[in-house]
Amino acid sequence: MQDYNNFFGEFGGRYVAEVLRQPLDELEAAYLDITKDKSFRKEFEHYLKVYVGRPTPLLFAENLSKTLGGGNLFIKMEGLAHTGAHKINNALGQILLAKRMGKKRIIAETGAGQHGVATAAVCAKFGIPCRVYMGEVDMKRQRPNVFRMETFGAEVVAVKSGSRTLKDAVNEALRDWASSFDETYYLLGSALGPSPYPDMVRFFQSIIGREVKSQAREQKVRIDKMVACVGGGSNAIGFFSPFLEKKKPHLIGVEAGGRGKLLGEHAARMNNLGRDSVVQGYRSLFLLDDDGQVATTHSISAGLDYPGIGPQLAFCGETGRIEFVTASDVQALEAIKIFARNEGVFMALESAHAAAYALKILPTMKKGENLVVNMSGSGDKDIFITAKELDREKWIEFLKKEAADE
Ligand X SMILES: Cc1ncc(COP(=O)(O)O)c(C=O)c1O
Q: In angstroms, what CA-CA distances link 322 with 2, 186, 231, 349?
A: 16, 29, 15, 22
Nearer to ligand X, 140 or 217 (CB): 140
Of 223, 229, 316, 338, the one binding ligand X (CB under 6 A) is 229
**What is the gyration radius of the CA atoms in the chain, in angstroms?**
20
Taking the complex as a whole, how short is the minimal distance between the CB of residue 349 and ligand X, in angstroms? 8
Q: 97 Cβ partners below 8 Å, 6+ apart?
A: 30, 31, 34, 40, 185
Query: Contact 80/345 with Cβ under 8 angstroms?
Result: no
3-state secondary structure (DSSP) of residue 174: helix
User: Residue 107 corresponds to which amino acid?
Assistant: I
Of 12, 196, 209, 233, the one binding ligand X (CB under 6 A) is 233
Query: Is 277 a catalytic site residue?
Result: no
Nearer to ligand X, 98 or 118 (CB): 118
Q: Which of 284, 376, 378, 381 is catalytic?
A: 376
Q: Tell me the per-residue interface mask from 258 to 297 with ligand X, x by CB under 6 A, - otherwise.
A: ----------------------------------------
Stretch that binds ligand X, among 2-10, 175-183, 231-239, 356-364 (CB under 6 A): 231-239
Of 122, 173, 230, 332, the one binding ligand X (CB under 6 A) is 230
Phi and psi of 159, rounded to 5°?
-100, 120
Query: Is 87 a catalytic site residue?
Result: yes
Q: For residue 200, give the nearest of 3, 5, 4, 6 by alpha carbon.
A: 6
Q: How many residues bind ligand X (CB under 6 A)?
A: 21
Nearer to ligand X, 71 or 238 (CB): 238
Stretch that binds ligand X, among 52-60, 227-235, 241-249, 386-394 (CB under 6 A): 227-235
Of 119, 165, 234, 326, the one binding ligand X (CB under 6 A) is 234
| SS3 letters across 269-337 | CCCCCCEEEEECCEEEEECECCCCCECCCCCCCHHHCCCECCHHHHHHHHHCCEEEEEEEHHHHHHHHH
Query: Contact 335/373 with Cβ under 8 angstroms?
Result: no
Nearer to ligand X, 215 or 235 (CB): 235
Stretch that binds ligand X, among 23-31, 40-48, 168-176, 228-236 (CB under 6 A): 228-236
Residues 80-109 that bind ligand X (CB under 6 A): 85
Phi and psi of 327, rounded to 5°?
-130, 145
Of 93, 198, 232, 308, the one binding ligand X (CB under 6 A) is 232
Q: Does 231 bind ligand X (CB under 6 A)?
A: yes
Q: What is the DSSP letter of 366?
A: P
Nearer to ligand X, 184 or 351 (CB): 351
297 vs 165: CA distance, rounded Å: 10
Nearer to ligand X, 176 or 350 (CB): 350
Residues 162-191 that bind ligand X (CB under 6 A): 190
Q: b vs e for 162-198, b when ≥16 Cβ sit within 10 Å of the residue's Cβ?
A: bbbbbbbbbbbbbebbbeebeebbbbbbbbbbbbbbb
User: Residue 240 corresponds to which amino acid?
Assistant: F
Q: Which of 109, 211, 265, 343 is catalytic?
A: 109
Nearer to ligand X, 108 or 229 (CB): 229
Q: Does 311 bind ligand X (CB under 6 A)?
A: no
3-state secondary structure (DSSP) of residue 77: strand
Report the C-alpha dihedral over residues 334, 372, 208, 250, rounded to 10 degrees: -110
Residues 9-48 that bind ligand X (CB under 6 A): none
Of 93, 198, 303, 311, the one binding ligand X (CB under 6 A) is 303
Query: Contact 48/343 with Cβ under 8 angstroms?
Result: no
89 vs 77: CA distance, rounded Å: 13
Nearer to ligand X, 72 or 382 (CB): 382
Taking the complex as a whole, how short is the minimal distance between the CB of residue 49 and ligand X, in angstroms? 21
Taking the complex as a whole, how short is the minimal distance between the CB of residue 81 and ligand X, in angstroms? 10
Q: Which of 87, 103, 167, 225 is catalytic?
A: 87
| SS3 letters across 116-159 | HHHHHHHHHHHCCCEEEEEEHHHHHHCHHHHHHHHHCCCEEEEE
Query: Is 401 a catalytic site residue?
Result: no
Q: Tell me the per-residue interface mask from 344 to 363 with ligand X, x by CB under 6 A, - otherwise.
A: ----x-xx------------
Q: Chain centroid to CA 38: how far?
A: 27
Q: Which residues bind ligand X (CB under 6 A)?
A: 85, 111-112, 114-115, 190, 229-236, 303-304, 348, 350-351, 376-377
Active site residues: 87, 109, 376
